[in-house]
């Protein structure tokens, strides 16, 4: 199912402490798109919270494995990859996605 503006995918960022959720829609699910959305989200979040992003937990999707790991490391963000095929480890995001 497509979004109103024709996007097929979505990316969620959830703050573990406040449970605040950001949703970004994407036309493609590739490393470049994920990178661009992450940069946009990070700038918005750090600007509003006046704090840096310390950790990013991901579902071990291939989009995060190469390009994103380097960007996270360069920005001082610790990447926490979850085990593959373990939705129970990512319960909050799975509930949000439902």
**Considering its fold, how many domains does the chain have in total?**
1
Give the range of the structural domain holding residue 83, as residue numbers without chain letter: 9-97
**97 φ, ψ to 5°?**
-70, -25
pLDDT tens by residue, 7-52:
898 888 888 788 888 989 999 888 888 889 999 999 999 998 898 8
Question: Would you say residue 28 lies in a domain?
Answer: yes
pLDDT tens by residue, 44-94:
999 988 988 998 888 766 666 677 888 888 889 998 887 765 555 555 555
Question: Would you say residue 39 lies in a domain?
Answer: yes
- Whether the model clears a pTM of 0.85, i.e. scores above it, the answer is no
Inter-residue long-range contacts of 92-96, CB under 8 Å, 24+ positions, other chains counted: 92/14, 92/16, 92/19, 93/12, 93/14, 93/59, 96/12, 96/14, 96/21
Question: Would you say residue 88 lies in a domain?
Answer: yes
CATH number for the domain spanning 75: value is 3.30.420.10
**50 φ, ψ to 5°?**
55, 40
Question: Would you say residue 3 lies in a domain?
Answer: no
């Amino acid at each position: 199912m497509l979004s109103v503006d024709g996007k097929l995918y979505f990316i969620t960022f959830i703050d573990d402490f406040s449970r605040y959720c950001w949703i970004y829609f994407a036309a493609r699910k590739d490393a470049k798109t994920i990178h661009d959305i992450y940069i946009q989200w990070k700038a918005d979040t750090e600007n509003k919270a006046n704090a840096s992003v310390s950790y990013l937990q991901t579902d071990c999707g291939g989009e995060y494995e190469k390009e994103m790991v380097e960007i996270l490391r360069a920005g001082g963000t610790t990447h926490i990859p979850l085990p593959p095929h373990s939705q129970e480890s990512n319960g909050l995001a799975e509930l949000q996605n439902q």
